[in-house]
Chain A
Amino acid sequence: MDKIKKVQGLGLGLRFPHFDDILNTSHNVPWFEVISDDFLEAGPHWDKLTKLRADYPIVLHSIGMNIGGIDPFDIDYLASLKNIYQIFEPEWISDHLCWSSHNGKYHHDLLPIPKTNEALKVVVERVNFLQDYFKRTLVLENVTQYIDFSISEMSEIEFIKEIVAQTDCKILLDITNVIINHNNRKKDYMSYFNNFPMDSVQQFHLAGGFVDESGLWIDSHTQKVQNTDLEVLQSLCKSGKKIAGIIERDGNLPSFEELEKERVSIENEFYEL
């Protein structure tokens, strides 16, 4: 394995339908973010990931740690994650600042946390436990939130700053999620980015959503990245932030060639390494 290559620049989220093209065609994707939950159990896809890992740096991004939940951690799940971290040696590991199961019932969704002192205490304890268990720094991603809680006691930025201060974790800044949250509330998103603790940001995400029949922006990962999101990326780069990131595309998946074209055009026009 080439351990010298580091995660940097604009990469892509690995999706199964693209796997063979990624391995067998020539392209310039510098690194890949891989969904951990797709690789929990051994199978032929592990051989492909081993091949990919031999040529590219990767990070492993999971969706099921349930960091904001209060159910006991699923120890089998954590053990599977730990196992693949050891095998595939990601440069870092990440999950979401959300909850996804409660009372043993799984939503398989990224559900919002009310920003209360009690929730903060829960998250801090769980992040500290996980970092201790994995012996790694955890990178936490901000999520889209379609409702506002009346019980919140602080802003999302205050909440994130406190978590970082109390756990030393890092942040995966999903630029699109921030913009969607602000657009849906008709608020200015630039002040959010200006106040964000950028020193803690390890990685960013960009994705494309759509406006539903009620006028609500939906974080669907089914479209090309919007220009508004790219302008934010450009302004972050101009302010001297050289952060590595990826494009996330899940539904309405174009060919790998087409997605790589989008990546290259963003890299050329909006992203300064």
Chain B
Amino acid sequence: MSFMNYKEMLNLFSTNVLSLETSNESCEGIIEKDIENMRIYKRNYLQLCFSNFSNDFPATKSYVGKNNFLFFTRSFLLDKGLGSVNIFKSSESFLFYLKGLDAAKEDRLIFELALIDFLWAYAKLKEIKVTDGVLEYWQELTSKKKTKKKIDFTKLVKIKLVEIDNERAFKLCDL
């Protein structure tokens, strides 16, 4: 007969993994051996989200760099966590999490690039407003084709996702 109930066991295991900390002390009462292998479950949790967000936000990742992007993913998981069985829904939460970060407040391109990434990946937003020149910069980051257009921080543009001959494309609209 076990002395710990199933719910307590799930609490300990889940909390330990979601903490992403190296210590596994809290699980000593439930795990017989190989407790250090809890790191596999922590690595899986971080890796899965990192690769999911990397797929959905390629320009943002390229702009901030891999290490910063991993740091943003990690802090998102620690602050918010994944709140849906559908992993794809987490990208929307991540987008708005990015918006609130100090780094994004200091550099508006982080959120604007993430907004374009998200629109491209999910076609969920009707239209978005971004700084003039950011769309061309997004295209440069995702296709590696250099743009001559300069970013004009004094001007905003509106972007829509449209379909032309069954292909997705961005359309610039009047404000």
Q: Which residues of A line the B interface, CB within 8 A?
A: 37, 40, 64, 66, 69-70, 74, 77, 99, 101-109, 111, 114, 116-119, 122, 146-153, 184, 216, 218
Interface string of B27-44 (1 = CB under 8 A from A): 001111111011011001
Contact A99 B10 (CB under 8 A): yes
Contact B32 A116 (CB under 8 A): no
Whole-angstrom distance between the Cβ of B62 and the nearest chain A Cβ: 21
Q: Measured between alpha carbons, how far is A70 from B6 in the docked complex, in Å?
A: 9
Q: Measured between alpha carbons, how far is A106 from B38 in the docked complex, in Å?
A: 17
Interface string of B1-39 (1 = CB under 8 A from A): 111111101110110011000000000011111110110
Q: Measured between alpha carbons, how far is A109 from B52 in the docked complex, in Å?
A: 14
A108 and B18 in contact, given A118-B5, A149-B32, A150-B29 (Cβ under 8 angstroms): no
Residue B164 CB within 8 A of the other chain: no
Contact A149 B11 (CB under 8 A): no
Contact B6 A119 (CB under 8 A): yes
Q: Which residues of B line the A interface, CB within 8 A?
A: 1-7, 9-11, 13-14, 17-18, 29-35, 37-38, 40-41, 44-45, 48-49, 81-87
Whole-angstrom distance between the Cβ of A127 and the nearest chain B Cβ: 16
16 A-B pairs in the complex with CB atoms less than 8 angstroms apart: A37-B87, A103-B11, A104-B83, A106-B81, A106-B82, A108-B48, A108-B87, A109-B45, A111-B13, A111-B14, A111-B41, A116-B6, A147-B34, A147-B35, A152-B2, A153-B2
Contact B87 A147 (CB under 8 A): no
Contact A105 B34 (CB under 8 A): no
Residues of A within 8 A of B14 (CB): 102-103, 105, 107, 111
Contact A108 B82 (CB under 8 A): yes
